[in-house]
Chain A
Amino acid sequence: MRMRKKQSTYFEGKKVILALLLTCIFVMGSGFSANAAESTGKNYSTDRQIAINLSNHEVDSSLENSQVTDQAGLLSQSEIEEIESQIEKMEEKTGWDVMAVTTDDAQGMNATYYAEKWFDDYTTCDDGIIFFIDMDNRELIMRTFGEAIDCINDAKRDKILDAGFEKVSDEEYGKAFEAMLKKTAKYAYRQITPVEAGIAFVIAIAAGGLTIGCIIGSYRLKFGGYKYSIEKNGSVKLRKKEDAFVNQFVTHRHIPKSDGSGGSGGKTTTHVGAGGRVSGGGSRKF
C-alpha cells in the first residue's frame, strides 16, 4: 500500500541515515527551484491535483526556507529561529524532512489535504513530518510520512497534538510548534531529557552514598553484631493447632483499557492522501 521508495526500518544502519541526510541536505542546498522543478515534474493522475499544484506556484516563489513557512504571519522571528533549530536537530538525528507551516488561506482545500500536498511538493524525502496550522479551516494538523508513520502511532500522535492544541487554544502558535516538536523528538529518536539526567544523577548519588555508608558503617560496627538465632536455638511443641475458616469476601474493580502509550506497538491509522502517498497523523479543530 505504501508508496515508499524504500522500506527502511526505524533502526536501520548509519549508511541509510547518512544517505538520507545527504539527500535532504542536497535537496535543501540546491535551493527551492530544484524542489519546485521536481514537484512539477511529478505525474499526477487527476486534473484536480494538477490544478492545485499550479495554484501553489505563486506561493512557491515566495518561500525561502522549507523548514518553517509562516504564511499566516503567526510567528515572531525568535520563534521561527527556535523552531528551525529544533527541526534542524530532529532532521539531523532522524534523516527525515520536518516542516512547520502556517496559512490563512487554504485555497479551498481541507487542512489535511493541504498539509499532505505541501509535504509532497516541497520535499523529495520519503520520510518526514509536517506540522500545519491552518487559520482558514481553524485546524491544527500533523501528517507523518514513511518512517515517521511507523514511529508515531495513534497514541503518540494524540499526545503530540494534545501538546500543540493546548498552546493553539491560547493563541501561542509558536509555542504550539515548539511543544509538538519537543514531544515528537521524544518519540522520534532516543535522547536524554534534563529531567531524566537529573533522576539518573540522583540515583547515582544515592548508590555511591549507600556504598560508602555501608562500608564505613560496617567497619565501625554500626550494624550487624550478634543476633540470637531462633531457628537454631528455639523449638516449639504445639498442643493446639487450629485454623478455622471465618468468612470470605470478593471485591471487584474495572480495569481501564491501556492506551498503548507504553510502547511503539500501538495502532497507526494511515490513509492514502494527496499525490497518492500514504500518510499518518491527525488533526484538532480550534
Chain B
Amino acid sequence: MAVVSYKCPHCGGELIFSPTTQKYKCEYCLSDFSQEELEALKPEEGSEEKAVNFEEDTQEENTTEKETQEEAVIYHCPSCGAEIVTDETTAATFCYYCHNPVVLSGRVSGEFLPDKIIPFAIDKKQATEKFLDYVHSKKFVPKAFFNKQQIEKISGVYFPYWMVDMDMEGSMQAEGRNVRVWRSGDTEYTETKVYRVEREGDVHLEDITKNALKKSNAKLAEGVLPYDVSKVQKFHMGFLSGFLAEKRDIERTELNKQVQQEANEYGEKILRGTVKGYSSISVKSCHLNQTQENWDYTMLPVWTVTYKGKNGKMYYYSMNGQDGKVYGELPIDYKKVWILGGIVFGLVLILALIGGYLL
C-alpha cells in the first residue's frame, strides 16, 4: 500500500492544506498552491513518491495481521523512511519522527475512495480559540476549569460519513376536520366538517448523514452535524495532507435498514406537511416506495479536543471543522446549578404566593 506525501516543487518541503486560505501551503518557503496547481504537480509528485515510497514486506505484514487482526499496521515514511504505525482505519497521519504529513493513499482509493469531501475551514489556532470561547460562554462550567495549557490534544480529523440522497414515491390518505364553534343565547353549537384528503407525489430527501466509523463515538460524531453541503468538493487526497483522516468501517448494508426507516418517517412528515387548512388531520394510510437512492461516502472535517479536567477526568469534544460548533459533555459546577435552582424556587414561590394572595 502506498504512502503519499505532497512536496513543494520549489523547495521540496511538505505541502499542507491551509483551512484559512483554502490553498496548499509550503511551511518552509511559504509558497501557496491552488487545488489545480497541486493536481498538475501530482504526476511528478507521484513518481517521486514511488522512489521514496517503500512497499511493505507483504510476508511480514501478513504474519502480523494473522496473529492479531486488530493490530496496528506498519508503513514507512516517504520522507525519512521511519516506520509509521497506524490503526486499520487510519487514512492520513503524521510521521512520528519527522512529523511530515503522510496520506495512506491505498486507504482512500479503490472501493474506499471517498466521493466527496468538505475541506477544513477552521485552522488549529481558530479551533482552539473557538473551543475556549465555547466553554467559557457556558455559565455552569466550574470557574477557571478550562485553560489553553490544559488542552491535551486538539487534532483535525477527517471522519468518514455516509450521506444519502433518496427519491421516493409517496401516497397518503388522511382525514381532515374543520371545527367551528359559535354561541347563540345559552346554546353552544359545534360544527364539524370532514374532508377526505389524498396526496401523491415524489419525495426527495437530501443528505441523510450517518457516521461510518465504528470506533468514533456516534454521539460526538453526529453532534457536530449538520455541515454546509454547498462547500462540498470532489474528493482529492491532497485535502488530507496536514490532517488526520480515518477510513470508513461501517458499510452501507449495515445502515440500509436504519436509513430506510428514517427516510420513511421523514417522507410521511413531508407529505403530511402538504395538508394545510384543517384544525385536525389524522393519517389513515401512507405508503412510500423508494425509487432511487444515492450513497456518498463523504469525509467531513472535525476538530477533536481531548481535555484533561482538574478532577483528572478526560473530556472529549468534537467541533465542526466548518463552522466551529462544539459538541461534548461539559463539567458541571453543581453548586452554581443548585444556587440557580434555589433562586428559581424562591422566585416562583414568591410569585405563586402573591398570586394566591391576590386571587
Contacts and interface: CB of A to CB of B under 8 A. Distances in A.
Whether chain B is bound by chain A comes out as yes
Interface of A: 190-193, 196-197, 199-201, 203-205, 207-209, 211-212, 215-216, 219-221, 225-226, 228-230, 232-255, 257
A233 B349 contact: no
A195 to B, nearest CB: 9
Contacts of B204: 234-237
24 contacts: A191-B357, A199-B352, A201-B349, A201-B352, A204-B348, A207-B348, A208-B344, A215-B340, A221-B219, A225-B223, A229-B226, A230-B266, A234-B269, A236-B203, A236-B273, A236-B274, A237-B202, A238-B199, A242-B198, A243-B197, A248-B191, A252-B188, A254-B186, A257-B186
A225 B209 CA distance: 13
Given A225-B222, A226-B222, A203 B183 contact: no
Contact of B344 (A192, A207, A239): A207
A243 B352 contact: no
Nearest to A220: B329
Nearest to A189: B357
B353 A228 contact: no
Most B CB contacts (10 A, CB to CB) among A229, A248, A249 go to A248
B206 A241 contact: no
A204 B193 contact: no
Interface of B: 138, 140-141, 170-171, 175-176, 183, 186-209, 219, 222-226, 262, 266-267, 269-271, 273-275, 327-332, 337-338, 340-342, 344-346, 348-349, 352-353, 355-358
Contacts of A190: 357-358
B134 to A, nearest CB: 13
Contacts, number: 181
Given A219-B140, A242-B197, A234 B205 contact: yes
Contacts of B189: 250-252
B326 to A, nearest CB: 12
Contact of B191 (A192, A233, A246, A249): A249
B187 A212 contact: no
